[in-house]
Structure 1
Amino acid sequence: METFESLVRAEFTPKTTFLNTASNALLPARTVAALDRAARLRAEGGALDPLYADVEACRAAYARLAGVPVERVAAGASVALFTSLVAASLPPGAEVLTAEDDFTSVLNPFHARGDLKVRAVPLEQIAEAVRPGTALVAVSAAQSADGRIADLDALREAARQHGARTYVDFSQAAGWLPVDGDAFDYSVTITFKWLLGPHGAAFLVVPKDFGDLMPVQAGWVAGERPWESCYGPVADLARSARRFDSSPALFTYAGLRASLTLVEEIGIDTVRAHDLALADRFRAGLAELGHEPVPSPGSPIVSVPGLGRLQPELAEKGIAVSDRAGNLRASFHLYNTAADVDRLLDALSG
């Protein structure tokens, strides 16, 4: 039986100290191989049925990860696309509660409507800010900029008490933080970060009754029998969340299927323990150097105020991190090691 170490080392061969999963993940070797097979299939003129099967396999894998029936998972291309779908479901004048400086894809479609009341509060206050008349609370489970984790239990309870719907973005969490798709009205994630996939895929979990969503973006893939919905209006929408699908980037899903298989093989709990241990090692090292990161306990994303200016210098040394709003952001995932953490700390100490 393969150990965590042997499995990970067989899949990843980074040529840099890559501490930037919060931007995008490294691709596993099996994913690269799957992408190559998909490209060769197109180049050789083979039938694309296996690639469409990959889409459904990915949908089922994410349903397992989120703990919901596969019929409640829609497949699309981006968080912004699905946020737009949620935004379109709201009546004029509805109040949307958001966290200050959350990621744009979670926010902008509500602002773009022009006829919604969008209210932003500090992340730590979002649960207590839900009030009578709040129609929807939209928030990231983990903040992109600094890794802070929303109190989702408190948010869910506050929304329930006031009759508000909830929309949670797990893009910076799915893959290391357990996802409870039943806990919220709608939840979404992209897959090119902690789920190790290529760019171009996203999943939306909807209620069994679809909530207030209308399939305003429905194309041929949203039909109950897609290949019979290619011309004219879609007469028979899918009787599942597939009615909210957008036409899939087939190569992406071919690779993603392999990535999700690896995530399932290793297990979210194992990944989480590994990632958080490295983040805590980095926090401890920062304290010894006299630096204080943005408080983000229990998160593999660590953001250090004032050090973002060092990102180009670190890149020259082969250390990949991000500069976010002047902060140095390091993020740790299963392919990272204690030696990676120590190399970054050594570079910062110099």
Structure 2
Amino acid sequence: MITSEIRPLFDLPRDLAYLNCAYMGPMPKHAALEGQNAYDLRQRPWELNIQENFFDLPEALRGEAAKPFRTEAKNIALIPAASYGLAVAARNLPLAAGQEILVLDAQFPSNVYVWRDKAAASNAVVKTVRRSANESWTEAVLGALSAQSGIVAIPQVHWADGGTVDLKAVREAADEHGARLVLDITQSLGALPFPMAEVRPDYAVAAGYKWLLGPYTLGYLYVAPEHQGGQPLEAGWIVREGAEDLTRLADYADHYKEGARRFDMGERSAFQLVRPALTSLRWLNGLGDDLLAGLSARTHAIEEAVRSLGARCDTPDRAPHYLCLALPDDAPADLAGRLAARGVSVSQRGDRLRVTPHLYNDQADIDRFADALRAELA
């Protein structure tokens, strides 16, 4: 698909260059309409089909969400946020006193706070992995792994600099030391292929509102089969065997439904979330190889357009869909705000400008960004 076919699917004004998918991906218009229709239906609860809305649609969503993970639907739980899924992992993974939990320097806080609490409760240590200017995150993580490593809790793509981690290499090294692997792939799932068979994470989470172009407050948790007998955060009714028969809910069931379903959040059938999320995922899953190729072409074009302005990407092993530009020393501290006033939406993370396009962006967006950046750095 070409941009002229994709852009009309989104409610993007022509005088705005939205280059900020890593902050929040816009939902396609037809997905948002599904959410609006769900709210309309919510006004008339007597018209809700119980089997469809409470059970069938969440299962369909689970199946679509499993595809970018490259796994089976039964291995996916429906969760409200990445932090929820990470809390499930922290609750269920063993950690001995004195062991280390590895996290990356300046990692997203949801994948740090939970491990600080886990370490404190286990008399263990959170070890922050830092990289030198010319070192990749993969090299830094491999250098930090040791016999003391109990859990490696990292992303596939660092949210602040766009650097990737070779998860296959980390998995192999973690296996050598008996360490567990927990991944936050929020900034990659839906953009980068996820090599499930090679990485074999113990747990992996992704918020659904960024590269998966879904609604806020709905995400996905992969749970490896060996952990699917673990303890969920909630004791919900809908994840129990026989829950479909509402006339017998007081015949309390001791057994959970198959796979990772026991870890579903309460009220996981949220009608106004499930329908648009399902619609967006179906659209994304239908793009195939065109998706990554298109994202990579756009970040390359943007990087070339601003190279002469002193804005450059110096991150080793940059993700092809992710561009974090190091700025000149005299760049304004409020540069993102200034660019917003010129009709350009990007994010500022530390001393870097994070520029994350999608297939809806075209050459006019790239030119607008380059012109705005030139005006502010002049």
- TM-score norm. by structure 1 comes to 0.92
CA distance in 2, matches of 1:316, 1:8: 26
1:68 aligns with 2:88: no
Query: Counterpart of 2:146?
Result: 131
**Aligned 1:324-343 pairs, distance under 5 A:** 324-343=349-368
Give the 3 Å change call, closer, same or farther, for CA 131–346 of structure 1 in structure 2.
same
- State the Cα distance separating 1:238 from its structure 2 match: 2.1
- Tell me whether 337-346 or 304-313 shows the greater mean CA deviation: 304-313
CA contact (8 A) 2:228 2:260 kept: no
Query: Counterpart of 1:316?
Result: 341
Equivalent position amino acid for 1:70 in 2: A
Query: Counterpart of 2:125?
Result: 117
Give the 3 Å change call, closer, same or farther, for CA 328–237 of structure 1 in structure 2.
same
- State the Cα distance separating 1:222 from its structure 2 match: 2.8
Offset from partner CA, 1:236-293 (integer Å, 9 cap, x none):
12231001111223311111011011102212x2111111111111222222222223
Query: Counterpart of 2:292?
Result: 272
**Aligned 1:182-221 pairs, distance under 5 A:** 182=197, 183=199, 184-210=201-227, 213-221=230-238
**Aligned 1:173-252 pairs, distance under 5 A:** 173-182=188-197, 183=199, 184-210=201-227, 213-226=230-243, 235-247=254-266, 248=268, 249-252=270-273
Find the residue that maps to 1:177 and give its secondary structure: coil
Query: Counterpart of 1:170?
Result: 185
- State the Cα distance separating 1:128 from its structure 2 match: 2.6
CA distance in 2, matches of 1:217, 1:99: 29
- State the Cα distance separating 1:112 from its structure 2 match: 2.1
Equivalent position amino acid for 1:315 in 2: A
- State the Cα distance separating 1:13 from its structure 2 match: 3.0
Equivalent position amino acid for 1:303 in 2: C
CA contact (8 A) 1:87 1:109 kept: yes
Find the residue that maps to 2:306 and give its secondary structure: helix
CA distance in 2, matches of 1:147, 1:204: 22
Query: Counterpart of 2:133?
Result: none
CA distance in 1, matches of 2:175, 2:228: 14
Find the residue that maps to 1:215 and give its secondary structure: coil
Find the residue that maps to 1:291 and give its secondary structure: coil
Equivalent position amino acid for 2:342 in 1: K
Query: Counterpart of 2:318?
Result: 297
Find the residue that maps to 1:187 and give its secondary structure: strand
CA distance in 1, matches of 2:351, 2:49: 46
- State the Cα distance separating 1:187 from its structure 2 match: 1.2
CA contact (8 A) 1:309 1:328 kept: no
- State the Cα distance separating 1:305 from its structure 2 match: 3.2
CA contact (8 A) 1:11 1:28 kept: yes
Give the 3 Å change call, closer, same or farther, for CA 57–211 of structure 1 in structure 2.
closer
Give the 3 Å change call, closer, same or farther, for CA 154–18 of structure 1 in structure 2.
same
Query: Counterpart of 1:103?
Result: 108
Unpaired segments of 5 or more residues in structure 1?
none
Percent of aligned pairs sharing the same letter? 27
CA contact (8 A) 1:127 1:151 kept: no
CA distance in 1, matches of 2:242, 2:24: 34
CA contact (8 A) 2:19 2:356 kept: yes
CA distance in 1, matches of 2:176, 2:228: 18
Query: Counterpart of 2:28?
Result: 28
CA distance in 1, matches of 2:212, 2:110: 18
- Tell me whether 203-212 or 100-109 shows the greater mean CA deviation: 203-212
Find the residue that maps to 2:154 and give its secondary structure: strand
- TM-score norm. by structure 2 comes to 0.86
Query: Counterpart of 1:58?
Result: 61
Find the residue that maps to 1:144 and give its secondary structure: coil
**CA-atom RMSD, angstroms?**
2.1
Question: Which structure is larger by alpha-carbon Rg, 1 or 2?
Answer: 2
How many aligned positions are there? 347
Unpaired segments of 5 or more residues in structure 2?
131-136
Offset from partner CA, 1:90-146 (integer Å, 9 cap, x none):
335242111111111111111123233211112341123111131111101111112
Find the residue that maps to 2:371 and give its secondary structure: helix
- State the Cα distance separating 1:230 from its structure 2 match: 5.6
CA distance in 2, matches of 1:323, 1:152: 26
